[in-house]
Each structure stands twice: as C-alpha cells, then as structure tokens.
Amino acid sequence: MTADAAGRIAGKVALVTGAGAGIGRAVAERFVAEGAYVVAGDIDADALKSLVDALGEERVAVASCDVTVEADVEALVALAVERFGGLDVAVANAGGGTASELVDHDYAAWQRVVNLCLNGTFLTVKHAGAAMKQSGRGGSIVNLASLNAVQAGRGMGAYCSAKAGVVALTEVAALELGRHGVRVNAVLPGLVRTKATGGMWHVPGVVEEYVENAPLGRFAEPEEVANVVLFLASDEAGFVSGSQYGVDGGARTGRYPDLIGAMQRLSGS
C-alpha cells in the first residue's frame, strides 16, 4: 500500500486503543498527519464517529473495543489486517484509575483498574505481537504506562501497581519479540490535561502541586505525549526497545502530589 502523504510513518498501519479522546486521540491524529492508516478502538461510539469525521474514512477504521475483553482486542487487530493489509504499529493506550488508600480500597475497584491498565495492555501486546510476528515484517508496540509506574502516590496503589506491571510487561515483550523484528517500549506521562484528568482541576491545590513538583513547572498537553509515541513508532527509533520514556517535565525527581489529602480537605473530613 502506497501512502499519499509524506511522514515518518507514511504507509504504515497503526492500531490505537482508547483512541476516542485525550492521548489516544492525539496519537491517532498525529499518525494520520504523518501518513499512517489508523485502526482506532474505544468503548465510546460517539467519540469514534467524531474521529472518523475529523480524519476521514480513507485513513481511519474504527471499532468498539473494550480492552479487557480478549475477543474485542483480537477483532481490532483483525480489522487492521483486513482493512489495510497488515499491522506495523500498536499503541496500548486505554487505561484509567481511582484513588483510595490500600486499607480502604474496594477489591472490585482494584480489580477494574488492574484489568483495564495491565490486562488490557497484555491483550493488546499479545494479539498485536502475534500479527506482527506472523507477517514477518516486524513492527513497533508502544505501551502507555505512567509516572506512577516509578513514583508512588498516596491512594494510587491500584494504578501504581498496574502501571509498574506495564513497564515489566514491556521489557518481557521486548525480550520475546525482538528476534521477530518487533520493538516494544513504554511511555510514562505525568499529568496531562485531558477529559479523563479533568477532575484534577476541580480539587483545589492538586494541579498546582503537580506543577510545583515538575522542574519544568507545568503539565503536559496530549500532543506532547503523541510526539514521543510517534518517535517510538517510527524508523528513527529502529534500535530502541525495552525502554521507558518519561514525559513528565522531570516530575520523577520530585514527589507525587497527595491526592487523598487534597480530597479530604475539599470534603472537610
């Protein structure tokens, strides 16, 4: 398939989970701008329609995909192969979290976070990696972890554990898939302004604490994370695998904000 646009991933076929909004949408938009064909998965049908309306059916195919359901992930990979002839790039972006101290943490809520962030990433790596291995043309898998994979936060036990697992999973996948020409890397964002993180802006002092703890003195926009994902997807990163890329403004050098304390102050408890 010949691309009609010049770019760093021109003509490549990319899969993005959680592509309806935030970082996932920014990645899909950047990939199309760079000449790729994108298969976008999300549980939000309206968001997927909006993505197609913005980027066009010629370049984008969409499907409802709950990354915790293996059949959904397998079908998303199959769509890439059927619609665009293969799979070169996969971005495991879907995720989400909650806040609760460990001794008070509801087990079902814990399981939901781990299932979404870690098991969903595993299923994406499993099926995308299998397709890339079978094609014989290699590829690049980029897993969205988090600053919380390497920096503990009060009330963030489930999310920290799941995202740390994503980093370990990334390294194992890089080890196993490298001989098939498949590179696997992780991106670790700090605070990014998205619809999913919008609640942070309604808890007094939280965003300010994030900004204070980041040496660069601000939070990120989704496009800044997409820039790093694009690099890892491209041939410019041809000898990069099993690596972690922080996009946190240096926040790893500080401490994570006290979300529980801020929420308690807001509620007056």
Single out the residue of 232, 252, 254 nearest to residue 243, CA to CA.
232
Q: What is the reported pLDDT for 5?
A: 44
Calculate mean pLDDT across residues 31-51: 98
Q: What is the reported pLDDT for 258?
A: 82
Residue with tokens 């370990």: 168
Single out the residue of 159, 80, 88, 169 nearest to residue 121, CA to CA.
169
Calculate mean pLDDT across residues 136-150: 97
Dihedral angle sign, alpha carbons of residues 209, 210, 216, 219: negative
Residue 6 pLDDT class (50, 70, 90 cuts): low
Domains of the chain and any CATH numbers: 13-196+220-256 (3.40.50.720)
| Residues labelled catalytic | 159
Calculate mean pLDDT across residues 137-148: 98
Q: What is the reported pLDDT for 261?
A: 79
**Strand 89-92, strand 60-64: pairing:** unpaired
